[in-house]
Amino acid sequence: MTHRNIVVVGASAGGLGAIKTLLTGLSPDLAAAVFLVLHIGARRSEAARILDGFSRMPVVEAADGAPIRTGHVHVAPPDHHLVLEKACMRLTRGPRENGTRPSVDPLFRTAAENHGSRVVGIILSGTLGDGTAGLAAIRKQGGVAVVQEPSDAKYPGMPQNALLHAGADHRLPTKAMSDLLVQLSGTGPSEIFPPDAGSHWDPSPRQEHRDVTGHYQLNRPDALTCPSCGGALRQTTLDTSPYYTCHIGHRFAVADMDAGQLDKIEEAFSVAMRTLNERAELCRRMAEMARGNGQTYSLNRWEAAGDEARERATVLRRFLEQNWTSPTRAAETIEIEG
């Protein structure tokens, strides 16, 4: 029997409550090491301290180079990806994936690559698609995929995308996951690998973002650009789960690419609105100067240009007031059948 003693968990919006529920039900004798990624951004976070108050297992912020030990819960710190080597955990500041750092996918991807069938991947409440590609990698390597029942999640986007593109071996409410983990983990040593087992870590971005060999297919450059840096994207597929990667290393699941494009549309309209307002102000000032200098021809031209800028700003403002820049996020409208 395979001891599933590496448990990786990803969550975003609404995920803190789901993680509390999960940890509350875990026994301190659980024969597995637990690693958590919660979308906390770059600011200082008290997530580990808060979660420690709900867990019978010690919850600590992950430390670079620390050994992997069962019976412990490690939380990714702000502004760092948490990744797993064979003997230890690592923290990196590689490019954002799915628009965030820490991201779920790097943890899941490296867990699958280095720990194979001993991995249990869990997707909890959140929006968009972070963790979907990583969960597919876990399943491809023989690990177990667990997804929170969307109706049980405060925000069902991440569970829905995981079910649609990666599938799941178990789909259940968070309260039922602790018993499942006990069944999957069985028994095992408190230290999965001794510290001197070696971990051949290369801190370069290429190492941080390597793919699971043999499971990814990299296609030619796509006619799309990266929402983060504007670089050319390549579509990568893992089974039925497509996502996009630029040459810097920014990665986007379909839902996150969808959201990134809409954010860029809103940003472009905001720049246009600001520029039109500034142009109207410039025209007003130049018209005043022309009036003071008795330059009738210049005055008429500047006033006409100012009127045009204000009219266009009015039209643009109507689009914004109609929520035109925030249409339905297509990747989040899919309902997963029971």
SS3 sequence, the chain?
A: CCCCCEEEEEECCCHHHHHHHHHHCCCCCCCCEEEEEECCCCCCCCHHHHHHCCCCCCEEECCCCCECECCCEEECCCCCEEEECCCEEEEECCCCECCECCCHHHHHHHHHHHHHHHEEEEECCCCCCCCHHHHHHHHHCCCEEEEECHHHCCCCHHHHHHHHHCCCCEEECHHHHHHHHHHHHCCCCCECCCHHHCCCCCCCHHHHCCCCCCCCEEEEEEEEECCCCCCEEEEEEECCEEEEEECCCCEEEHHHHHHHHHHHHHHHHHHHHHHHHHHHHHHHHHHHHHHHCCCHHHHHHHHHHHHHHHHHHHHHHHHHHCCCCCCCCHHHCCCCCC
Angle at 32 between CA 31 and CA 33, to 5 degrees: 140
pLDDT value, residue 238? 65
pLDDT value, residue 249? 84
Contacting residues for 135 by C-beta, under 8 A, at least 6 apart:
108, 121, 123, 145, 147, 162, 166, 168
Mean pLDDT for 268-273 is: 91
Residue 69 above 50 pLDDT? yes
Residue 270 above 50 pLDDT? yes
Q: What does the chain come to in residues? A: 338
Residue 215 above 50 pLDDT? no
Residue 28 above 70 pLDDT? yes
- Mean pLDDT computed over every residue of the chain: 86
Do 79 and 71 contact (CB within 8 A), yes or no?
A: no
Percent of the chain topping pLDDT 90: 64
Residue 228 above 70 pLDDT? yes
Residue 293 above 70 pLDDT? yes
| Least-confidence region, from 158-162, 203-207, 249-253 | 203-207
- 209 against 294, higher pLDDT: 294
- 137 against 213, higher pLDDT: 137
pLDDT value, residue 54? 92
Residue 194 above 70 pLDDT? no
Residue 58 above 90 pLDDT? yes
Residue 162 above 90 pLDDT? yes
What distances in angstroms separate CA 218 from CA 209, 233, 234, 243, 251, one per listed residue?
14, 11, 7, 10, 13
The whole-angstrom separation of Cα 173 and Cα 125 is 11
Residue 313 banded pLDDT, cuts 50, 70, 90? very high
pLDDT value, residue 210? 46
Residue 205 above 50 pLDDT? no
pLDDT value, residue 206? 40
Fold of 6-208: Rossmann fold (3.40.50)
| Least-confidence region, from 15-19, 29-33, 131-135, 237-241 | 237-241
Mean pLDDT for 124-145 is: 95
Residue 191 above 60 pLDDT? no
| Least-confidence region, from 23-27, 224-228, 281-285 | 224-228
121 DSSP β-pair partners: 8, 145
Q: Which residues are marked as active site?
A: 12, 39, 130
The whole-angstrom separation of Cα 255 and Cα 227 is 13
CA-based nearest residue to 113, from 87, 133, 138, 76 = 138
pTM for this entry? 0.77
